[in-house]
């Protein structure tokens, strides 16, 4: 470590790595510091014998946001990172309904949905998909490609032009209300309400504006990296090494303080002067442990957090054909499930279950006659389930898989690991184990989210899942892009 850097980035998750690559390309002398012994943050990996699980994200959308980091350096992305488009988006399981698959291809999708839904209902699905594309293209950019909108931005011409859309029914109603207007079939309402969970929020409270989320998955498609999700991190780390970007692992003590025209960073008691610092960790953890800004901390401390999770990683000693890569087993009372999570703040009793099975497309991630199940249940942030509750959830999943899918999995689970609220918080620094920072549970949540630049010290920037524009791989990569542009604009260098 030297004594001077242009940009010091704290946190080596995907957003910190993307920021490091972007700033290095601009000619910055960059240092990235990470508390754990590897880069990647939530994109960690678990192994047991011949079984391999991606620890966190499993749904991969907008792969161009990754590949553009390679083209930035005039590299062929395929020399580093390969992925393929998935034919199936997700398999859905409801009570009292045969299972069905949502396909990317319109004709295939229609043929499959015809087994379950009427022509009118399928037309409503297609109309919804057309509308989700429209709203994403028309106003999505304002909310996810640019720094957070403030009150003063409301008079800018390009925003004034969008007023009719901003005041549209999507924006003013909850996602659930909006979906109920689009569909009479309650299963379709529930299916499209689920997209609220993509940023860990409550579809019964968040703005209908987020009806634009399905556009990413259902219109633009889902993808899967060769070698699993962790391959994304390995490829970016390789590029960082080749480009000589400096990073330090296992750093436990970091403090940031103000300096005229810059920032002082103390790293394990070594003093570094930097032109700017980028926090690529949860902003509340940054204020708690690294940088004193009581005003900012108090402003954000009461914001409702997004969901946390209980994840079971199961080594299964049998190949089941029923499941695809992404599978969703819905609860019978979705509203009650969200009330338990956000209002009662309890581990839900009969929750929806997401099951991801990467060995279906990546056979090397499980032995020949086995599968690597990733089973995830949404839970409240800040609530650690007891051993008893984890046992109850496991039993619930086993019985629900039997009931909805007809698979008796119980005797086929030969090994289990779990990741729960406390582990997520300890391993990644996300306060209360929230997967996506603050929830978007109000109509104005986007405006109230933490932005990408400190008000106290203009040389401190924020990227990653807890800040604008939101969590999830695509959005945190967009936040890295926004920070890169803000640093340019503010002329720190």
Ligand X SMILES: Cc1cc2nc3c(=O)[nH]c(=O)nc-3n(C[C@H](O)[C@H](O)[C@H](O)COP(=O)(O)OP(=O)(O)OC[C@H]3O[C@@H](n4cnc5c(N)ncnc54)[C@H](O)[C@@H]3O)c2cc1C
Phi and psi angles of residue 276, each rounded to the nearest 5 degrees, phi first: -150, 160
Residue whose CB is less far from ligand X, 69 or 311: 311
Min CB(116)–ligand X separation in Å? 25
Min CB(211)–ligand X separation in Å? 18
Residue whose CB is less far from ligand X, 175 or 431: 431
What number of helices (H) and strands (E) belong to the chain?
Answer: 19, 18
Min CB(375)–ligand X separation in Å? 11
Residue whose CB is less far from ligand X, 57 or 147: 57
Min CB(59)–ligand X separation in Å? 4
Q: How many alpha carbons fall within 13 Å on the CB side of residue 68?
A: 12
Rounded to whole angstroms, the Cα distance separating 100 from 113 reads 7
Strands 326-329 and 353-357: antiparallel
Residue whose CB is less far from ligand X, 436 or 440: 436
Closest residue by Cα to residue 66 from 125, 126, 21: 21
116 exposure class (CB count in 10 Å sphere: 0-12, 13-18, 19+): middle
Rounded to whole angstroms, the Cα distance separating 434 from 306 reads 5
Phi and psi angles of residue 464, each rounded to the nearest 5 degrees, phi first: 105, 180
Interaction site with ligand X (CB under 6 A): 10-16, 33-36, 41-43, 56-59, 251, 254, 280-281, 285, 289-290, 309, 311, 376, 424, 428-430, 435-436, 464-465, 471-473, 476
Rounded to whole angstroms, the Cα distance separating 385 from 395 reads 14
Min CB(408)–ligand X separation in Å? 26
Min CB(420)–ligand X separation in Å? 10
User: Can you read off the two tokens belonging to residue 234?
Assistant: 């390995």
Evaluate whether 227 touches 220 at the Cβ level (below 8 Å): no
Rounded to whole angstroms, the Cα distance separating 235 from 247 reads 15
Residue whose CB is less far from ligand X, 33 or 383: 33
Min CB(254)–ligand X separation in Å? 5
Min CB(376)–ligand X separation in Å? 6
Place of tokens 């689920």: 194
For 95-240, strand residue ranges (E) read 97-103, 223-225
Write the CB contacts of 76 (distance below 8 Å, at least 6 apart in sequence): 70
Residue whose CB is less far from ligand X, 202 or 285: 285
CA distances from 380 to 200, 327, 367, 463, 480 (A): 10, 22, 34, 24, 27
How much of the chain is in helix, strand and coil states, percent to nearest 5?
40, 20, 35
Min CB(152)–ligand X separation in Å? 27
Query: Does an H or E element contain 327, and which?
Result: strand 326-329
């Amino acid at each position: 470590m030297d004594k001077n850097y242009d940009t010091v980035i704290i946190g080596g998750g995907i957003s910190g790595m993307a920021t490091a690559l972007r700033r290095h390309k601009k000619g910055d002398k960059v240092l990235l510091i990470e508390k754990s012994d590897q880069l990647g943050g939530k994109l960690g990996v678990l192994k047991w014998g011949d079984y391999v699980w991606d620890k966190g994200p499993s749904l991969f959308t907008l792969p161009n946001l990754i590949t553009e980091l390679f083209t930035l350096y005039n590299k062929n992305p395929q020399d580093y990172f390969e992925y393929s488009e998935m034919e199936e988006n997700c398999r859905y399981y409801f009570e009292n309904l045969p299972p069905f698959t949502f396909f990317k291809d319109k004709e295939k999708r229609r043929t499959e949905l015809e087994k379950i839904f009427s022509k009118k209902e399928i037309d409503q699905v297609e109309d919804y998909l057309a509308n989700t594309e429209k709203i994403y293209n028309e106003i999505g950019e304002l909310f996810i490609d640019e720094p957070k909108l403030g009150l003063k931005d409301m008079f800018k011409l390009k925003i004034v032009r969008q007023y009719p859309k901003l005041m549209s029914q999507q924006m003013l109603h909850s996602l659930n209300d909006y979906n109920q207007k689009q569909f009479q079939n309650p299963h379709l309402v529930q299916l499209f309400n689920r997209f609220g969970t993509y940023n860990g929020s409550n579809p019964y409270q968040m703005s209908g504006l987020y009806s634009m989320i399905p556009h990413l998955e259902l219109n633009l498609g889902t993808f899967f990296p060769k070698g699993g999700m962790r391959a994304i991190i390995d490829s970016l780390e390789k590029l960082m090494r080749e480009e000589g970007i400096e990073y330090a692992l296992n750093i436990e003590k970091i403090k940031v303080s103000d300096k005229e025209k810059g920032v002082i960073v103390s790293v394990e008691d070594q003093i570094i002067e930097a032109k700017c610092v980028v926090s690529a960790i949860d902003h509340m953890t940054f204020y708690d442990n690294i940088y004193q800004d009581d005003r900012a901390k108090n402003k954000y401390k009461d914001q409702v957090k997004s969901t946390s999770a209980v994840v079971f990683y199961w080594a299964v000693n049998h190949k089941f054909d029923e499941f695809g890569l992404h599978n969703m087993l819905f609860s019978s009372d979705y509203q009650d499930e969200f009330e338990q999570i956000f209002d009662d703040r309890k581990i839900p009793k009969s929750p929806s279950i997401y099951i991801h099975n990467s060995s279906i497309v990546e056979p090397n991630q499980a032995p020949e006659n086995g599968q690597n199940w990733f089973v995830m249940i949404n839970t409240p942030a800040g609530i650690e389930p007891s051993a008893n509750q984890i046992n109850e959830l496991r039993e619930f999943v086993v019985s629900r898989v039997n009931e909805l899918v007809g698979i008796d999995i119980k005797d086929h689970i030969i090994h289990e690991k779990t990741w729960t609220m406390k582990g997520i918080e300890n391993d990644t620094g996300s306060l209360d184990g929230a997967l996506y920072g603050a929830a978007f549970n109000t109509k104005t949540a986007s405006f109230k989210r933490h932005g990408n630049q400190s008000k106290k010290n203009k040389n401190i920037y924020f990227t990653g899942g807890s800040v604008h524009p939101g969590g999830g791989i695509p959005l945190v990569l967009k936040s890295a892009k926004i920070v890169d542009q803000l640093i340019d604009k503010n002329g720190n260098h």
